[in-house]
């Protein structure tokens, strides 16, 4: 997990489904759209995000549990 991952998860938890471009433009996730997109894809493989459609991502229950400290990222496996 990286700082970008935490910011992405926090953003989606607070604001709901969003695209990497909108996350980058919001100023809350201070990384490039390309980096956010890359990290979102990685978070999907670990079940922390779900790709809805048209580049829109949302946080999953596991993602919320990670943010709440109820889930250790070291216990996650790529799907």
Please report, for the domain that includes residue 23, its CATH number: 1.10.10.10
pLDDT digits (tens, 9 = 90+) for 18-35: 999 999 999 889 999 999
Supply the pLDDT for residue 75. Answer: 85
* Structure token pair of residue 57: 């991502």
Q: Is the pLDDT of residue 78 over 90?
A: no
Residue that has been written with the tokens 């980058």 in this structure: 24
Q: Is the pLDDT of residue 36 over 90?
A: yes
Residues spanned by the domain of 67: 3-71
Q: Which of 11, 33, 12, 13 is nearest to 24 (CA)?
A: 33
Q: Is residue 76 part of a domain?
A: no
Return phi, psi of residue 51, to 5°: -90, 115
Supply the pLDDT for residue 28. Answer: 87
Tell me which long-range contacts 38-42 makes (C-beta under 8 A, separation of at least 24): 39/2, 39/4, 39/5, 39/8, 40/8, 42/5
Q: Is residue 79 part of a domain?
A: no
CB 29 within 8 A of CB 11: yes
**Tally of domains within the chain:** 1
């Amino acid at each position: 997990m990286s700082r970008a991952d935490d910011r992405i998860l926090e953003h989606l938890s607070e604001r709901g489904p969003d695209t990497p471009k909108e996350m980058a433009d919001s100023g809350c996730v201070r990384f490039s759209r390309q980096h956010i997109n890359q990290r979102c894809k990685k978070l999907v493989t670990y079940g922390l995000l779900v790709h809805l459609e048209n580049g829109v991502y949302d946080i999953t229950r596991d993602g919320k549990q990670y943010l709440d400290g109820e889930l250790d990222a070291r216990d996650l496996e790529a799907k």
